[in-house]
Structures are given as structure tokens and as C-alpha cells.
């Protein structure tokens, strides 16, 4: 805001000086042209940060031209956080276990970092972003977890954010997205301590975010750093506070049932704290929060003092009745609260996926499919590309063998990767903005 205002003020002063020179007798064509250009430039730069960044108004996402934007895209699942059911890894149950397994085998920290860097460098490249853009999509949801930025003890890998691997990967994908005309939603898929007992947060059975001040403070600090770094980015569409909070199994000690009073209270405690911290740095970007598994678990944002909000569900319902029910919840929240609505992940089954696409389009609901790639064979319409390339066996493979398996064979264009023509057709036909 202040930077934009000062830039405008400087340009106005420059224009005034040039006009004064022209009026004092300098009437050659060059002086008049220069004055004209300065005045035109002044008009152009009278754009504050919030005018350029997507924002929510009356339940719609609006761009700098005042036009509605419906975000239609795909998740980059399995890239910065490995979900073992879909990634090129066996021998561990979750990403945290993978780290510990390699450590127990005697791999050094540098070796482990090199392995995961090779994986990330090959799993998603600029070519993948180009492929997504060529489908006519306009958005990437980028799942990441805290271990991209910091160690298990919550200390950052580097004191300089520019050298931190987590920020470097996000910088890279944001730059690629900007080049190909895509928006990016930054999704904290795995918070310190875990925000659920499910493996998708990077750990299993912990759900220790809510009961540890150390974990909460680390999460808050990371969101502050993210908001500081990307607050002026027009490519970043939204901050997704945490993925699927309380996606729990009640067999675990902290497995509060999703939708229970305790689960909702603890989830809202985190949302309030993170939103307050982000808004102190970045008052402009959209913030999205998830109701797991119902939109009714999310509060009236006006009563919370929240603005520029997008409420989110993940729809894995496969019957028309439940698809209709969840969409009705979302539309009601948009109508009553003025929030934008968003399906952050979906797979509605082969029989009713087209039905769901039609409903999403009819209601102008933003959505990102789960997911771009899976690496354990053809698992149906869960991904745009799939592969049967041998996964890295972290319990038995040598360092060199893991490095090989997490190298060129992960490139989408390499042999062994197959394009899912069914999902590709659906995305091209139904997920383009209306």
C-alpha cells in the first residue's frame, strides 16, 4: 500500500516538473512527448497492491479488472510432501517415517537432503506446469509441509530464507505459474506436530499441533515468513491455512472425531491464531480455511472479524445425493456469509464425476482436482499421469539406488509414465472457467 502510494506520488511530481518545463518555452516535440508519457505512466501506476491481487467480494473472486475469476486447476500432490500410497516409495507409512528410516540406516543429514531434493527436482518441473496450462486450467494448489523449511526440532535449515529449500521450491513454482498464466494456492499440507492423525499431514497418529505451544508457534512463524515473502505476489491466489484438520482416526489418543465439539474448537483456535498473524503482515491476499468434512463447522467470518475469505471443502463423495448435499452447504455459506467457495480436492468416482463437474460449473465453484501424478500404477482417475516405475525401497535400497529411482525416471516425459486420457478429457471439458 505505502510503496504503491509513494510510487504514484513520485510519478505525479515528475509529471508536474515536465509540464512546467514544457510551459516555460520548451515546445519541441520531444519535450511534449516526454510529458505525455509521464502523465500516461502516472495513470498506469495508480494501482495499489490490493487492486492487483485477487480478492473476494459478495462471494465472488474478483481480479484487477473487476471480473469474476473461477479457479479451475489441479493439486501438485506428492511433490513436496510424499503420501506413500501414491508416491515412488515403499518401506515407510508416511513422510516422517521415511526420514527416520533413513536416519536409522545411518544415512547422513546431507545424504537424506540430497535424496529428497533429487525427488522434488524431478517429480515436478517447468514442463509439468506448461502441460497444466495447456489444458486450459488456471490454478495450482501446492501442498507443502513444515519439513520443507525446518528440521523436526523446528529449527530452520538456513537463517537466510533465500537459501531455504522450502522457499526456493515455492519461489520456483510461483515463477513458473506466473510465466504460464496460472494462479497458485499455497497449502500447508503438513503442520508441525501434525494437524490430524492421518498420513497425509506427513505423520501418522500424532495430531500434536493443537496441544503443543512449540508446534503452534513454529506454524505461526512459518506463516508469517510465507506472508512476508509473498504478500506482493499477484500470482499467489490464496493461503490455505492447513489441510484437512482433524481428519482423524479415533483409535489414536488425540484422534478427536471430525465434527465433534472438541475437534471444531481446537481447529478454530488454530485458524484464529494463524489468520491474525497473517493479516498483521498481509491484509490483501485471500485466506482459505477448510471444514472437514462439512461447511457447517466454519463460523460467520463477520463475527470473527475476518475479511477476504474463501471457505473450502474436500469432496470425495461419490453419490449424487451427497454431492448435492455438500454443494448446497457451500452455496448456503456463500449466500449467508459472502465468502468465496472452493473444492480444494475432489474425486467423485467414475460414475458421478461428470455429474459433479456439471454442478461445480453451474454454481461457479472454484476447484482443484486431486491430483497431477501418482507413481504406483493406474489407480483410476486419481491422477492425470501415472507410472509403474519401481519405487524406492527405503528399508533396503542403497543410497545410489534410491537416488537413481528418485532421478530421471520420475520425470513425466520419461518412459513409464502414462497420461490418463479420461481425466484429461474431463479437465479440458469441464474445468475450464465458464
SS (H, E, C) 105-155: CCCCHHHHHHHHHHHHHHHCCHHHHHHHHHCCCCEEEEEEEHHHCECCCCC
* Ramachandran class of 225: left when φ > 0, alpha when ψ lies in -120 to 50, beta otherwise: alpha
Same domain assignment for residues 18 and 115: no
Same domain assignment for residues 274 and 423: yes
Percent of the chain scored above 90 by pLDDT? 85
Q: Would you place residue 413 in the very low, low, confident or very high pLDDT band (cuts 50, 70, 90)?
A: confident
3-29: pLDDT as tens digits:
443 344 334 333 433 334 334 343 333
Whole-prediction pTM value? 0.89
CA-to-CA distance for 326 and 331, rounded, in angstroms? 9
Same domain assignment for residues 327 and 397: yes
88-111: pLDDT as tens digits:
999 999 999 999 999 999 999 999
Same domain assignment for residues 168 and 203: yes
Question: Which range is least confidently modeled, 25-39, 146-160, 257-271?
Answer: 25-39
Q: Is the bond leading into 117 cis (omega within 30 degrees of zero)?
A: no
pLDDT averaged over every residue in the chain = 89
Percent of the chain scored above 70 by pLDDT? 88
CATH assignment of the domain containing 314: 3.20.20.80
235, pLDDT greater than 90 = yes
Q: At which of 46, 65, 82 does a domain end?
A: 46
Segment 229-247 mean pLDDT:
98
Segment 354-368 mean pLDDT:
97
CA-to-CA distance for 275 and 279, rounded, in angstroms? 6
Q: Would you place residue 432 in the very low, low, confident or very high pLDDT band (cuts 50, 70, 90)?
A: low
Q: Can you give the pLDDT at residue 433? A: 56
Q: Which domain holds residue 358?
A: 53-430
Q: Can you give the pLDDT at residue 243? A: 98
Same domain assignment for residues 301 and 378: yes
Same domain assignment for residues 411 and 378: yes
Same domain assignment for residues 205 and 146: yes
Q: Can you give the pLDDT at residue 381? A: 96
Contacts 24+ apart (CB under 8 A), 220-224: 220/273, 220/274, 220/277, 222/146, 222/149, 222/150, 222/188, 222/192, 223/188, 223/274, 223/277, 223/278, 224/277, 224/278, 224/280, 224/281
Segment 27-50 mean pLDDT:
33
Segment 328-348 mean pLDDT:
98
Same domain assignment for residues 8 and 29: yes
Q: Can you give the pLDDT at residue 434? A: 59
CA-to-CA distance for 296 and 171, rounded, in angstroms? 35
User: How many domains are contained in the chain?
Assistant: 2
Same domain assignment for residues 58 and 5: no
Segment 297-318 mean pLDDT:
98
341, pLDDT greater than 50 = yes
Q: Can you give the pLDDT at residue 272? A: 98
117, pLDDT greater than 60 = yes
Q: Would you place residue 354 in the very low, low, confident or very high pLDDT band (cuts 50, 70, 90)?
A: very high
Same domain assignment for residues 302 and 212: yes
Same domain assignment for residues 18 and 93: no
Instruction: Read off the C-alpha cell for 127.
Output: 514442463
Helix/strand/coil (H/E/C) assignment for every residue in the chain: CHHHHHHHHHHHHHHHHHHHHHHCCCCCHHHHHHHHHHHHHHHHHCCCHHHHCCEEECCEEECCCCCECCCEEEECCCCCCCCCCCCCEECCCCHHHHHHHHHHCCCCHHHHHHHHHHHHHHHCCHHHHHHHHHCCCCEEEEEEEHHHCECCCCCECCCCHHHCHHHHHHHHHHHHHHHCCCEEEEEEEECCCCCCCCHHHCCCCCCCCCCCHHHHHHHHHHHHHHHHHHCCCCCEEEEECCCCCCCCCCCCCCCCCCCCHHHHHHHHHHHHHHHHHHHHHCCCCEEEEECCCCHHHCCCHHHHCCCCEEEEEEECCCCHHHHHHHHHHHHHHHHHHCCEEEEEEECCHHHHHHHHHHHHHHCCCEEEECCCEECCCCCCCCCCEEECCCCEECCCCCHHHHHHHCCHHHCCCCCCEEECHHHHHHHHHHCCCC
169-189: pLDDT as tens digits:
999 999 999 999 999 999 999
Q: Can you give the pLDDT at residue 415? A: 80
54-80: pLDDT as tens digits:
999 999 999 999 999 999 999 999 999
Same domain assignment for residues 311 and 372: yes
Distances (CA, A) of 242 to 87, 146, 261: 21, 11, 19
Total residue length of the chain: 434
Amino acid at each position: 500500500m505505502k510503496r504503491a502510494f509513494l510510487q504514484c506520488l513520485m510519478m505525479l511530481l515528475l509529471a508536474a516538473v515536465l509540464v512546467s518545463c514544457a510551459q516555460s518555452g520548451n515546445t519541441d516535440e520531444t519535450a511534449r512527448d516526454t510529458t505525455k508519457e509521464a502523465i500516461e505512466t502516472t495513470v498506469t501506476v495508480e494501482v495499489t497492491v490490493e487492486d492487483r491481487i485477487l480478492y473476494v467480494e459478495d462471494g465472488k473472486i474478483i481480479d484487477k479488472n473487476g471480473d469474476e475469476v473461477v479457479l479451475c486447476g489441479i493439486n501438485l500432490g506428492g511433490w513436496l510432501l510424499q503420501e506413500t500410497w501414491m508416491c515412488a516409495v515403499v518401506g515407510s507409512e508416511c513422510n516422517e517415517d521415511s526420514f527416520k528410516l533413513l536416519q536409522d540406516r545411518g544415512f547422513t543429514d546431507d545424504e537424506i537432503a540430497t535424496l529428497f531434493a533429487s525427488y522434488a527436482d524431478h517429480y515436478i518441473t517447468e514442463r509439468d506446469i506448461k502441460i497444466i496450462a495447456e489444458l486450459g486450467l488456471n490454478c495450482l494448489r501446492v501442498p507443502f509441509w513444515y519439513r520443507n523449511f525446518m528440521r523436526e526440532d523446528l529449527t530452520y535449515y538456513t537463517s537466510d530464507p533465500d537459501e531455504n529449500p522450502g522457499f526456493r521450491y515455492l519461489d520456483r513454482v510461483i515463477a513458473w505459474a506466473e510465466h504460464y498464466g496460472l494462479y497458485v494456492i499455497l497449502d500447508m499440507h503438513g503442520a508441525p506436530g501434525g494437524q490430524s492423525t492421518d498420513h497425509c499431514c506427513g505423520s501418522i497418529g500424532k495430531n500434536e499441533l493443537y496441544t503443543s505451544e512449540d508446534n503452534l508457534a513454529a506454524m505461526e512463524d512459518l506463516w508469517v515468513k510465507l506472508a512476508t515473502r509473498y504478500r506482493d505476489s499477484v500470482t499467489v491466489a490464496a493461503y490455505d491455512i492447513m489441510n484437512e484438520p482433524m481428519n482423524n482416526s479415533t483409535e489414536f489418543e488425540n484422534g478427536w472425531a471430525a465434527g465433534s465439539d472438541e475437534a471444531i474448537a481446537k481447529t478454530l483456535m488454530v485458524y484464529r491464531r494463524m489468520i491474525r498473524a497473517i493479516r498483521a503482515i498481509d491484509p490483501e491476499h485471500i485466506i482459505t480455511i477448510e471444514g472437514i468434512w462439512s461447511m457447517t463447522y466454519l463460523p460467520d467470518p463477520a463475527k470473527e472479524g475476518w475479511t477476504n475469505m474463501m471457505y473450502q471443502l474436500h469432496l470425495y463423495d461419490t453419490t449424487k445425493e451427497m454431492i448435492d448435499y455438500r454443494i448446497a452447504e457451500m452455496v448456503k455459506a456463500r449466500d449467508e456469509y459472502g465468502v468465496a467457495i472452493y473444492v480444494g480436492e475432489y474425486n467423485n468416482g467414475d460414475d458421478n464425476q461428470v455429474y459433479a463437474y456439471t454442478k461445480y460449473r453451474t454454481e461457479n465453484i472454484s476447484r482443484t482436482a486431486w491430483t497431477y501424478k501418482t507413481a504406483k500404477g493406474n489407480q483410476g482417475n486419481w491422477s492425470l499421469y501415472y507410472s509403474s516405475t519401481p519405487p524406492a525401497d527405503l528399508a533396503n535400497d542403497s543410497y545410489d539406488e534410491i537416488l537413481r529411482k528418485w532421478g530421471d525416471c520420475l520425470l513425466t516425459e520419461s518412459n513409464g509414465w502414462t497420461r490418463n486420457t479420461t481425466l484429461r478429457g474431463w479437465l479440458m471439458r469441464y474445468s475450464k472457467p465458464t
